[in-house]
């Protein structure tokens, strides 16, 4: 059984993100980029499925600029077998990525598509769900536990107020949450081995997908600077301020 | 900071792995190691499991088979730690002691030790320096004399990093009493627990406090003939060769510490306010930081250039000596300014910058003092 893990290259979580002066987006020049942390958890889970003998092959795919190869190499160093890059300089929105992934699924024939629940750059939380809809596959999102057996997936999900366990048939789209696992360290011997693993590059055109954005970004702005607070003497003064100054109650 | 022209995507991955190890396994625990005076063995073994203790060593013994540039990437990444004592514990093992085994070891010696050295199961130390002979290796007085089918060592060794808790010592001793100077010195492998070898005392240092440093005493210390490392009477040349590796590692350490110190200081001056503005708003401060950053970037480029020379197997004693002198002094210049800009907090034991100041001092002394390095450069200036 093959597992497909889509991964995204994002600004590293340690970087303080800055908005470009012209308000068209955020600054990415000379900024450290890394694999989206949720995707790293998805890669780890897929590799564990392989090590447990459940999966036979782990294929990672990324959509975006040529430099995504570096992110794919990290996934290969964690333990993925093979990588695909759908290379484009175009802006990619979740729907476009979901369409590209649908085409990759048709090409590769995986039984599981395992994704991060969202990317830490746009926090859209859409690609997995859209992919499931486009494929007509069941979806199990926000997984904190994944069990695959007898052609079925049993997935524990983190929902408001607790945990929910769902069972689905395969094939399935699963998106993973933070507490599913702790990704392993990438060891130096595995970094060296990853250099020799296959990495195939495709173009969106070859997959017959139109990636043109459907949404237009009007403006990107810094969040307002946090202002200093004030101390109130008692609850009554607080209520008064909330009612008459902030006008929130 | 932009990457050097010599670095590859794999180097970036290696840096990420090391950075994560520091954040999770080192920085939260380093203060306890400083207090106890050594790094726990489990930490060394964890580095071994990540394949980081045998970067340039053969894969058949568990090494990564990578080149000198990859080793520098590791050394520099490791030195982003704020605990110099931890860094030197590791780098003495990987780049100052174990190269004696890897370069000169016979097949049976490699089979016996190298795999466990790379796994971090055996921690190594190099014992060349003596109470009366440091950079002047040719004047060592420890003696090894043949006795039946073995050797007997007598003498004392000083300032031996990993000396208190090490498992395997690479010891320089005079084997030819007749010859003087560089000739007549040989290297030996001595295992911990060999009768006649004892730790005279654990030394108390200004910095590098999480690193154990020993005075070692050899008293009729008997070892098998098979423990001669490399050619008899040719040890001086092996030591000189390994000095190049050691000095590049120490330069990488200095450059890594400089980058960490500047990052800590930029963070501090961006937030610390005085006279109605942040310290970074003061031109006197930010321009000095800008110039120090320029110097560190230049030193870093030189560091990678030296490592590249090693990968090309070029003669580079002049360059490496210059690099060692430059970076040892630069680390002290940078740390002095960084501590200054931290104000009173920089003088407090609780601040990382205070520790790095103490840790930086030895970078101009150990592994070839600046003056010795500059002589090596000067000798080669007029050729």
How many whole angstroms from its chain centre is CA B1? 23
CB count in 10 Å sphere of residue A25: 12
pLDDT of B182 above 90? no
Q: Which of A73, A185, A195 sits opposite B20 (nearest CB)?
A: A185
- What pLDDT is stored for residue B3 in this prediction? 62
Q: What's the mean pLDDT when you consider all of chain A?
A: 95
- Mutation choice for A interface testing from B17, B266, B273 by most A CBs within 10 A: B17
Same domain for B89 and B158, yes or no, is no
What average pLDDT does this structure show over B66-88?
A: 97
Last residue of a domain, one of B233, B253, B268: B233
Helices B41-49 and B84-91 pack at an angle, to 10 degrees, of 60
pLDDT-derived band at B4 (thresholds 50, 70, 90) equals low
Provide the CATH number for the domain around residue B46: 1.10.540.10
Residues of A in contact with B55 (CB under 8 A): 188
Residue-wise pLDDT tens digits, B283-331: 999 999 999 999 999 999 999 999 999 999 999 999 999 999 999 999 9
Q: In this structure, is residue B33 part of a structural domain?
A: yes
Q: In this structure, is residue B109 part of a structural domain?
A: yes
Helix (H), strand (E) at residue A176: strand A172-176
* Contact call for residues A115 and A128 (beta carbons, < 8 A): yes
Residues of A in contact with B10 (CB under 8 A): 73, 191-192, 194-195
Same domain for B113 and B137, yes or no, is no
Residues of B in contact with A192 (CB under 8 A): 10, 64-66
- B65 and A192 within 8 Å at the Cβ level: the answer is yes
Question: B174-179 — which CB contacts under 8 Å span 24+ positions?
Answer: B174/B140, B174/B141, B174/B142, B174/B143, B174/B144, B175/B143, B175/B144, B175/B145, B175/B151, B175/B232, B175/B233, B175/B235, B176/B233, B177/B143, B177/B145, B179/B233
Q: In this structure, is residue B383 part of a structural domain?
A: no
Least confident of A151-155, B25-29, B153-157, B235-239: B235-239
Q: Which of A30, A73, A188 sits opposite B55 (nearest CB)?
A: A188
Active site residue B246: yes
- A186 and B13 within 8 Å at the Cβ level: the answer is yes
| Nearest chain A alpha carbon to B63 | A189
Same domain for B240 and B374, yes or no, is yes
What average pLDDT does this structure show over B348-374?
A: 96
- A187 and B49 within 8 Å at the Cβ level: the answer is yes
What average pLDDT does this structure show over B33-53?
A: 97
pLDDT-derived band at B118 (thresholds 50, 70, 90) equals very high
Residue-wise pLDDT tens digits, B214-272: 999 999 999 999 999 999 999 999 898 899 999 999 999 999 999 999 999 999 999 99
Asked if A144 reaches chain B (Cβ–Cβ under 8 Å), the answer is: no
pLDDT-derived band at B138 (thresholds 50, 70, 90) equals confident
CA distance B251 to chain A (A): 22
Output the CA–CA distances (angstroms, integers) from residue A216 to A92, A98, A188, A228, B254, in the order listed.
Answer: 12, 18, 42, 35, 48
Residues of A in contact with B59 (CB under 8 A): 189
* Contact call for residues B184 and B175 (beta carbons, < 8 A): yes
Residue-wise pLDDT tens digits, A172-215: 999 999 999 999 999 999 999 999 999 999 999 999 999 999 99
- What pLDDT is stored for residue B1 in this prediction? 44
Q: In this structure, is residue B227 part of a structural domain?
A: yes
pLDDT of A140 above 90? yes
Region for B98 from its dihedrals, namely left if φ exceeds 0, alpha if ψ lies in -120 to 50, beta otherwise: alpha
Q: How far apart are the first and last CA of chain B?
A: 35
- What pLDDT is stored for residue B7 in this prediction? 81
* Domain of B14, in residue numbers: 2-123
Q: In this structure, is residue B221 part of a structural domain?
A: yes
What average pLDDT does this structure show over A145-165?
A: 94
Same domain for B370 and B241, yes or no, is yes
Asked if A147 reaches chain B (Cβ–Cβ under 8 Å), the answer is: no
Asked if A228 reaches chain B (Cβ–Cβ under 8 Å), the answer is: no
Interface pTM, i.e. ipTM: 0.86
Last residue of a domain, one of B233, B258, B284: B233
Q: In this structure, is residue B318 part of a structural domain?
A: yes
pLDDT of A120 above 50? yes
Burial class (CB in 10 A: 0-12, 13-18, 19+), B107: exposed
- B51 and A186 within 8 Å at the Cβ level: the answer is no
For chains A and B, CB pairs below 8 A equal 47
Same domain for B258 and B369, yes or no, is yes
Same domain for B149 and B210, yes or no, is yes
What average pLDDT does this structure show over A117-137?
A: 97
Express as a percent the part of chain B with pLDDT over 90: 91
Same domain for B110 and B41, yes or no, is yes
Same domain for B295 and B258, yes or no, is yes
- Structural domains in chain B (count): 3
Same domain for B313 and B252, yes or no, is yes
Closest to B275 measured CA to CA, from B285, B265, B266: B285
What is the rounded CA–CA span in Å between residue B116 and residue B129? 25
For tokens 């045998």, name the residue: B54
Closest to B308 measured CA to CA, from B370, B379, B248, B378: B248
Asked if B20 reaches chain A (Cβ–Cβ under 8 Å), the answer is: yes
What is the rounded CA–CA span in Å between residue B310 and residue B68? 7
Provide the CATH number for the domain around residue B190: 2.40.110.10
Same domain for B342 and B283, yes or no, is yes
Asked if B271 reaches chain A (Cβ–Cβ under 8 Å), the answer is: no
Q: Which residues pair with A26 in a beta bridge?
A: A19
Same domain for B119 and B130, yes or no, is no
Same domain for B251 and B216, yes or no, is no
Asked if B66 reaches chain A (Cβ–Cβ under 8 Å), the answer is: yes
Q: In this structure, is residue B300 part of a structural domain?
A: yes
Last residue of a domain, one of B106, B123, B140: B123
Q: Which of B34, B246, B329, B376 is catalytic?
A: B246
């Amino acid at each position: 059984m093959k597992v497909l893990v889509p991964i995204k290259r994002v600004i590293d979580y340690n970087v303080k993100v800055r908005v470009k002066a012209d308000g068209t987006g955020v600054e990415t020049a000379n900024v450290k980029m890394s694999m989206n942390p949720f995707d790293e958890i998805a890669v780890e889970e897929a590799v564990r499925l392989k090590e447990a003998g459940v999966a036979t092959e782990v294929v990672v795919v990324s959509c975006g600029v040529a430099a995504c190869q570096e992110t794919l190499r990290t996934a290969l160093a964690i333990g993925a077998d093979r990588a695909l890059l759908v290379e484009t300089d175009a802006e990619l929105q979740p729907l476009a990525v979901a369409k590209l992934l649908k085409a990759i699924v048709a090409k590769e024939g995986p039984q599981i598509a395992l994704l991060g629940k969202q990317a830490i750059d746009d926090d859209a939380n859409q690609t997995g769900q859209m992919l499931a809809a486009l494929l007509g596959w069941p979806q199990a999102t926000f997984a904190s536990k994944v069990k695959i057996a007898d052609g079925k997936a049993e997935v524990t999900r983190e929902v408001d107020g607790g945990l929910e366990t769902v069972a689905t048939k395969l094939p399935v789209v699963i998106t993973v949450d933070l507490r599913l696992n702790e990704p392993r360290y990438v060891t130096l011997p595995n970094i060296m081995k990853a250099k020799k693993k296959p990495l195939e590059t495709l173009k969106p055109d070859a997959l017959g997908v139109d990636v043109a954005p459907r949404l237009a970004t009007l403006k990107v702005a810094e969040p307002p600077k946090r202002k200093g607070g004030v101390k109130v003497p008692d609850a009554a003064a607080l209520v008064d301020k909330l009612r008459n100054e902030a006008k929130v109650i | 900071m932009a990457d050097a022209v010599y670095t590859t995507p794999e180097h970036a991955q290696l840096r990420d792995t090391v950075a994560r190890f520091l954040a999770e396994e080192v920085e939260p625990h380093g203060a306890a190691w400083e207090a106890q005076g050594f790094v726990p063995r489990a930490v060394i073994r964890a580095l071994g499991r990540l394949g980081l203790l045998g970067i340039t060593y053969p894969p058949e013994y568990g090494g990564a088979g990578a080149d000198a540039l990859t080793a520098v990437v590791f050394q520099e990444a490791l030195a982003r730690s704020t605990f110099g004592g931890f860094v030197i514990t590791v780098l003495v093992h990987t780049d100052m002691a174990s190269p004696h085994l890897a370069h000169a070891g016979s097949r049976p010696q490699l089979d016996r030790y190298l795999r466990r050295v790379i796994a971090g199961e055996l921690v190594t130390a190099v014992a060349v320096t003596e109470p009366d002979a440091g950079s002047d290796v040719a004047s060592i007085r420890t003696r090894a004399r043949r006795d039946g089918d073995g050797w007997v060592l007598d003498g004392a060794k000083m300032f031996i990093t990993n000396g208190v808790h090490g498992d395997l010592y690479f010891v320089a001793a005079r084997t030819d009493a007749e010859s003087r100077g560089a000739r007549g010195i040989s290297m030996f492998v001595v295992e911990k627990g060999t009768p006649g070898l004892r730790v005279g005392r654990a030394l108390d240092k200004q910095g590098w406090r999480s690193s154990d440093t020993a005075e070692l005493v050899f008293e009729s210390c008997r070892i098998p003939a098979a423990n001669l490392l490399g050619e008899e009477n040719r040890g001086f040349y092996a030591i000189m060769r390994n000095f190049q590796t050691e000095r590049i590692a120490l330069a990488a350490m200095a450059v890594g510490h400089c980058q960490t110190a500047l990052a800590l200081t930029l963070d501090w001056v961006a937030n610390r306010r005085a006279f109605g503005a942040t310290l970074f708003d003061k031109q006197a401060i930010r321009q000095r930081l800008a110039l120090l950053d320029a110097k560190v970037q230049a030193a870093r480029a030189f560091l990678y250039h030296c490592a590249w020379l090693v990968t090309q197997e070029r003669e580079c004693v002049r360059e490496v000596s210059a690099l060692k002198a430059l970076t040892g002094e630069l680390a002290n210049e940078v740390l002095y300014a960084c501590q200054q800009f931290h104000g009173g907090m920089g003088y407090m034991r609780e601040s990382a910058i205070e520790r790095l100041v103490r840790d930086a001092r030895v970078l101009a002394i150990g592994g070839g003092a600046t003056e010795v390095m500059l002589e090596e450069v000067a000798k080669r200036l007029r050729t």
